[in-house]
Amino acid sequence: MTDFRQLPVVTQDPIDQAFVQNPYAFYAGVRALGDVVFWSEYNLPVATTFGAVTQILKHPAMGRAPVGGASPDLRDGLEMFDTLERHSLLEIEPPDHTRIRREAMQAFTGPQIALIAPEISRLADRLISDFPSEPFDLLEAYAKPLAALTITTFLGVAQDQATVLQDWSNRMVAMYQARRDAGIEADAEAASRAFVTFIKAEIEDRRAAPGTDFLSQLVGVRDNGGLSTEELVSTAILLLNAGHEATAHSIGNAVPLLTGFEVRSEALSPDGIAGTVEECLRFRPPLHLFKRQVYETATIGDVTFEAGDEIGCLLASANRDDAVWPDGEVFDPFRPRLRHTAFGVGLHACLGAALARLELQIALPVLFARCPNLQIEELPRVANLYHFHGYEKLMVSVR
């Protein structure tokens, strides 16, 4: 392993509350030190700039799978969670990654995503109609259920299962937080086992009576030899997890940006909404740190990495790089639209990015059209979930 302590060394506890609430001051400081710095708490070199982060995420000598391609041993007490990880698109590399993503994309087409737009609008309207007259948590009343109901509908899972699926997902996704501990691990394993049992039953239902939903199409791919059962189960769970977790955070992160925005109607107009969504994602992305394994010697900027090294990519720092976005610390929905890193870049870019964008493009205009007087009632606090970035709650009033 390379000794990276000759790089600029930075110190920042990722669960320190000042950092959790505003990591962007730290990001600005590390960008000023160079493309790559050494984050002492993680014992890890991290890329800070847009150029370095995107180069790493697209680099053929870097990826998610362990060096050598062998799957890590299943850990005691995490056997089911690790089994799902072994077959996850997030964790594997070509040729398996290429094959599984290609097969999944056959079902995850643009036209199929567009077909769900009216249902997203109906779900949003229904949730808004149930808003109480007194102040309430918009995350629990709107962002989380809309994201969960949308992804369950897309996959073809009964909407009345959305709450339990959301609970399992939250418990599994907690494994990627900086504050992970033995209790979180045990909870994630229990959720993984329950989730697998549920998805396998859903698969058998689709096999007996196929529909037009995404899961039915994946089952068809499996039965034609395109996917193994383990790959099918892992892909379905990944989409359910990622399909609501990041989207719920993204809706919640966007609302305070738009609540007091002077020309909100223009930003949310049919001509402006796509750019506004991209700016919300750039400015407050739901995920802040990805990691990559180095497979062979590679140079990023003036830093050389060797096989066996690991590097982190600060996505949220890259998204505020003034070299790409002048005045990157300013929220501006009307700035020129450029590719950001909120959904990743390269082979492992988010499979569900198009669906997430569609949800945001519907959820935000509908919310503010129905609730033009929406007000933030309490200064929202960011939850201690790093590497994720989203609020603990978002107390609002709409009457």
State residue 111's pLDDT score: 64
Q: Which neighbouring-strand residues pair with 46?
A: 37, 312
For position 222, what pLDDT does the model report? 78
Q: Which among 288, 286, 284, 267 is positioned nearest to 329, based on CA atoms?
A: 284
pLDDT at 136 over 70: yes
- Pick the closest to residue 146 from 234, 233, 252 (CA basis): 252
Q: What's the whole-number average pLDDT of the chain?
A: 91
Q: Of 10-19, 224-233, 305-314, where does mean pLDDT reach its minimum?
A: 224-233
Q: How confident is the model at residue 70 (pLDDT cuts 50, 70, 90)?
A: low
User: What does each C-alpha distance from 360 to 146, 169, 257, 278, 279 come to in angstroms?
Assistant: 10, 20, 13, 10, 12
Per-residue pLDDT, 66? 79
pLDDT value of position 180: 86
Question: Are the C-beta atoms of 361 and 274 separated by less than 8 Å?
Answer: yes
- Lowest-confidence region among 46-50, 147-151, 252-256, 276-280: 147-151
Using pLDDT thresholds of 50, 70 and 90, give the confidence band for residue 101: confident
Percentage of residues in the chain having pLDDT higher than 90: 65
Q: Output the DSSP codes for 350-376.
A: -TTHHHHHHHHHHHHHHHHHH-TT-EE
Which two structure tokens, joined as six digits, stand for 7? Answer: 């790089």
- Picking from 21, 18, 6, 14, the residue whose alpha carbon sits closest to that of residue 392 is 21
Tokens of 136: 């309430």
Q: Which two tokens stand for residue 17?
A: 């509350």
Distance between alpha carbon 398 and the CA centroid of its chain, in Å? Answer: 28
**29 or 114, which is more confident:** 29
What is the predicted pLDDT for the residue at 178? 81
Is 307's pLDDT higher than 90? yes
Give the Å distances, CA to CA, from 362 to 118, 147, 178, 366, 387. Answer: 9, 11, 32, 6, 26
pLDDT average, residue stretch 257-277: 96
Query: Which stretch of 29-38, 190-199, 239-248 has the lowest confidence by average pLDDT?
Result: 239-248
What is the rounded CA–CA span in Å between residue 265 and residue 274?
13
Strand (E) or helix (H) holding 38? strand 36-39
Q: Give 70-129 as a DSSP string.
A: PPPPPPTT-HHHHHHHHT-TTT--TTHHHHHHHHHHHHS-HHHHHHTHHHHHHHHHHHHH
The pLDDT value recorded for residue 69 is 59
Amino acid at the residue 67: V
pLDDT at res. 109 = 65
Q: Which of 2-16, 17-31, 75-89, 161-175 is most confident?
A: 17-31
Question: CA torsion, points 313, 315, 319, 320, in degrees to nearest 10?
Answer: -70
Q: Is the pLDDT of residue 68 over 70?
A: no
- pLDDT on residue 33: 97
Domain 9-397 has CATH 1.10.630.10: yes
Taking the C-alpha atoms of residue 126 and residue 263, their distance in angstroms, rounded to an integer, is 27
Range with the poorest average pLDDT among 7-16, 160-169, 182-191, 376-385: 160-169
The stretches of the chain forming alpha helices (DSSP H) are 17-21, 24-33, 50-58, 79-86, 96-107, 110-115, 117-129, 138, 144-155, 162-173, 182-208, 214-223, 229-259, 264-267, 273-283, 315-318, 353-370
**Residue 108 pLDDT:** 66
Q: What is the pLDDT of residue 110?
A: 62
What is the reported pTM? 0.92
Mean per-residue pLDDT, 61-87: 82
More confident residue, 374 or 66: 374
> What mean pLDDT comes out for the span 238-257?
90
Tokens of 149: 């109901």
Residue 266 makes CB contacts below 8 A (sequence gap 6+) with 272, 334
State percent of the chain over pLDDT 70: 96
**For residue 198, pLDDT beyond 60:** yes
**What are the pLDDT digits (tens) for 337-388?**
899 999 999 888 888 888 899 999 999 999 999 999 999 999 999 999 898 9
Q: Which of 147-156, 163-172, 215-224, 342-351 has the lowest mean pLDDT?
A: 215-224
Angle made by CA atoms 64, 67, 73, in degrees to the nearest 5: 85
